[in-house]
Amino acid sequence: MAKVVVTGKIPAVALERLRAEHTVDAWEDESLISRDELLRRVAGTDAIVSLLTEKIDAALLDAAGKQLRSVSNVAVGYNNIDVPACRERNVLVTNTPGVLTEATADIAMALILMSTRRLAEGERVIRAQQPWQWGMFYMLGSSIQGSQLGIVGMGQIGAAVARRARAFGMTIAYTKRSPLDAETAKELNATHMELDELLATSDVVSLHCPYSPETHHLMNASTIGKMKKSAYLINTARGPVVDEEALATALQQGKIAGAGLDVFEKEPTVHQALIGLDNAVLIPHLGSATVETRTAMANLAVTNALAVLSGKTAPNLVG
């Protein structure tokens, strides 16, 4: 039996699969584990199942000790984990791709509709019991039929968003290091572009790239400035891909039409300047937040941890 630390509350079915084979020390409170508590608990553990809210850095790996074999993130993004520090210590890192693709794409599509059709703003009017009246010119948004969606980072989630957007009559442009294979490009009828061209021509720009030093503030005053004045920026990837301060300024000054954000630079804090803006739709990191998806993510992370602990190749190794 190995020792496994689970850094946050995960669905019981997944936890039970771990408990059936190993000694599990799981943080089962809804609130986040404190750094000190986590450092204390990981000492002597063989595997860590981590949530994206916990930083798995060199100090934590050292606190765990040399017997640590794996860190299994319950997320597809793994920017909370210092992968080179894990590699140096022969600790394998895994993530949960695939199982959250559709749920996250749903949220991106929802944000596209909410932003372009001013749904959150409309809802606020009703809830505030403000007077309103159907009117020819009342609360008009923008139609997405026939408009261009620019997908920045055409991976599995980007492609799933593109499929949805096509059903809404949008055309697809995308950035990707190596262009899509011919079959997927044909299925999505998607045009490969450099970022600048995509920004200058898209009516909606949706971010689906991983967060890394290269994508830190990829969307900043300069790149946002390349977008159309009538365009919308959607972020369901990671908050720091967007410079929130620059975005807030652009939204205030009407440099772009709107934004839909599921992720933020300093979660759970949201930049104060965004809070008062009607043309920003703000939701609290709900991309993968369905019962089914969170269960599948936890199960996949556990499958990865169990594989490493039994000497098998984990299905979702990263780095």
What are residue 317's phi and psi, to 5 degrees?
A: -70, 140
Longest dimension (CA), the chain: 69
**Calpha distance 228→181 (Å, rounded):** 29
Least Å distance, CB 52 to ligand GLV, is 6
Angle formed by the axes of helices 101-116 and 291-309, nearest 10°:
150
The SS3 of residue 200 is helix
Other beta carbons within 10 angstroms of residue 276's beta carbon come to 9
- For residue 192, indicate whether it is catalytic: no
What 3-state class would DSSP assign to 208? coil
Cα 115 versus chain centre, distance: 18
C-alpha 300 chain-centroid distance: 17
Identified catalytic residue from 41, 238, 271, 294? 238
**How far is Cα 299 from Cα 307, in angstroms, rounded to an integer?**
12
Report the nearest approach of ligand GLV to the CB of residue 37 (Å): 23
Tokens encoding 309 = 């602990």
Instruction: Output the CA–CA distances (angstroms, integers) from residue 38 to 158, 225, 240, in the order listed.
Output: 34, 42, 25
Nearest approach in angstroms of CB 136 to ligand GLV is: 41
For the record, the structure tokens of 234 come out as 């959607």
Shortest distance in whole angstroms from residue 173 CB to ligand GLV: 24
Least distance to ligand GLV from the beta carbon of 75, Å? 3
Q: Judged by CB, which is closer to ligand GLV: 76, or 188? A: 76
Whichever of 260 and 287 has its CB closer to ligand GLV, that residue is 287
Site residues (CB under 6 A) for ligand GLV? 52, 75-77, 100, 287-288
* Long-range residue pairs from 176-180, CB within 8 A, at least 24 positions apart, any chain: 180/154
Nearest residue (CB) to ligand GLV, 111 versus 257: 111
Q: Which two tokens stand for residue 313?
A: 């190749």
CB of 96 to ligand GLV, least distance (A): 6
Q: Are 224 and 255 in contact (CB under 8 A)?
A: yes
Rounded Cα distance between 99 and 91, Å, is 24
Pick 231 or 318: Cβ nearer ligand GLV: 318
Q: Nearer to ligand GLV by C-beta: 201 or 206? A: 206
Please give the span between the terminal C-alpha atoms of the chain, in angstroms, as a whole number: 27
Least distance from ligand GLV to the Cβ atom of residue 299, Å: 14
Of 182, 174, 115, 176, the C-alpha closest to 149 is 174
Active site residue 208: no
217 is an active site residue: no
Of 73 and 148, which CB lies nearer to ligand GLV in the complex structure?
A: 73
Catalytic residue of the set 118, 271, 285, 294 = 285
Which residues are annotated as catalytic?
238, 267, 285
